[in-house]
Amino acid sequence: MSSFVLTEESFRELRDIIREAFGIFYDDGKQYLLQSRLQTRLAKRGFASFEDYARFLKYGEGRAEEFHELASTLTNNETYFFREPAQLKSLVSAMFPPTGAMLPSLRVWSAACSTGEEPYSLAMTLLETGRIMESAISILASDISPRVLEICDKGYYRALSFRATQPDMIQKYFSPAGDGFLISDRVKRLVKFFRLNLMDEGAIAGVGKMDAIFCRNVLIYYDKPTQKRVVEAFFHALRPGGYLFLGHAESLFHLTDLYEPIVQPDTIVYRAKTDVTAAVGGR
C-alpha cells in the first residue's frame, strides 16, 4: 500500500485536527476528498505519509505557518460579483427607511469573503442606492485564507467573476487592466479586509456591533454543534434586530432560537431577536 493512501485511522485523526482548527468537518463518506486535498501539502512539505503529516500538525515546529497554508487548501473559494442578488435587495429594503430618507450609517460584515467579490458587491449595492454618504459606509471583510486576502487587496478580477454583473456596473466601478479589470478606489476604500478564523469567538466579538452579517455557503462545511456555535457568536456581534444572511442551502431551523426568519419571495434572511435577555453560550 502506498504511504500516500489515507488510512481510516489517519483520516479520523486529521479530520479531528481540521475540525478543531477550522470548524470544517469531513464525515465518513469524504475520506477520499480529504486525501486528495491534502496530497499537495504532503508533497510540498516532503512528508512520506499522512501519519507523519498529522504528527507535524500536532507537534511540529512551523505548524502555525502550515495551518495558514492548509486553510487555503481546504476552503472552497467559488464566488462571483452580485451572487444571490435577492439578498442584496433584501439588505437595502431592510436597512433603508421606506420614506426615502438618508441612512446615517451602516456597518456590514462579509464574514467569509473569499476573493472579495461579495464585500465589493455590497459596497457597490450601497453606493447605487444614493441614500447614504460614502463616509458612512463601513464594510468589514474577513476570511481564514491568507491567499484569498491577497487577491482581495489587489482588487483584480477576470471574466468569470463577472458572470452575473451588468455591463454598466463594470463600466462604472472597474477599469480594464490586462485581461481583466481592477476595482475602483471609490469602492475599494469602503472595505477593510482582515484574517479571521470563525472558530475564534473572541475575534468575532472584537469586530464590534454590526447592522448585518453575510456568511454564505460556510455553515454547510460545519457539523451541527459548530454551526450553532458560530451563529450564536454572530448574534452577539449583531445589534438588536440586525440581520444574518446565509447561503440558499443553509438554514437556522432546529439550530438556534436567537433569530426570527424573514421569509421573502426569493430568499430567507434572519433577524436577531430583540427580546433575548438570557446569556447564551456561557456569556
> CATH number, domain at 183?
3.40.50.150
> CATH number, domain at 36?
1.10.155
**Are 115 and 249 contained in the same domain?**
yes
**Are 174 and 70 contained in the same domain?**
no
**Are 267 and 192 contained in the same domain?**
yes
Last residue of one domain, picked from the residues 74, 106, 125: 74
Q: What's the confidence (pLDDT) of residue 76?
A: 74
Residue 37, domain extent:
8-74
**Are 43 and 90 contained in the same domain?**
no
Q: What's the confidence (pLDDT) of residue 1?
A: 34
- How far, in Å, are 20, 21, 28, 82, 104 from residue 123 at the CA level? 33, 31, 40, 11, 16
> What's the average pLDDT block by block, 10 residues per block, for the chain (283 residues)?
75 95 92 92 91 94 91 84 96 93 96 97 98 97 94 97 97 97 98 96 96 96 95 97 95 95 93 73 41
Q: Is 143 a catalytic residue?
A: yes
**Strand 210-215 relative to strand 238-246: parallel, antiparallel, unpaired?**
parallel
| pLDDT digit string, tens, across residues 108-125 | 999 999 999 999 999 999
User: 282 in a domain, yes or no?
Assistant: no
Catalytic residue among 37, 45, 63, 195: 37
Q: What's the confidence (pLDDT) of residue 71?
A: 87
Last residue of one domain, picked from the residues 24, 47, 74: 74
User: 215 in a domain, yes or no?
Assistant: yes
- The label of the residue with cell 479571521 reads 196
Q: Is 37 a catalytic residue?
A: yes
Q: What's the confidence (pLDDT) of residue 42?
A: 93
Q: What's the confidence (pLDDT) of residue 277?
A: 56
Q: Which string of b and e fits 201-240 if b means at least 16 CB within 10 Å?
A: beebeebeebbbbbbbbbbebbeeebbbbbbbbbbbbbee
As a whole number of angstroms, the distance between CA 264 and CA 259 comes to: 15
Q: What's the confidence (pLDDT) of residue 282?
A: 40
Catalytic residue among 41, 107, 143, 216: 143
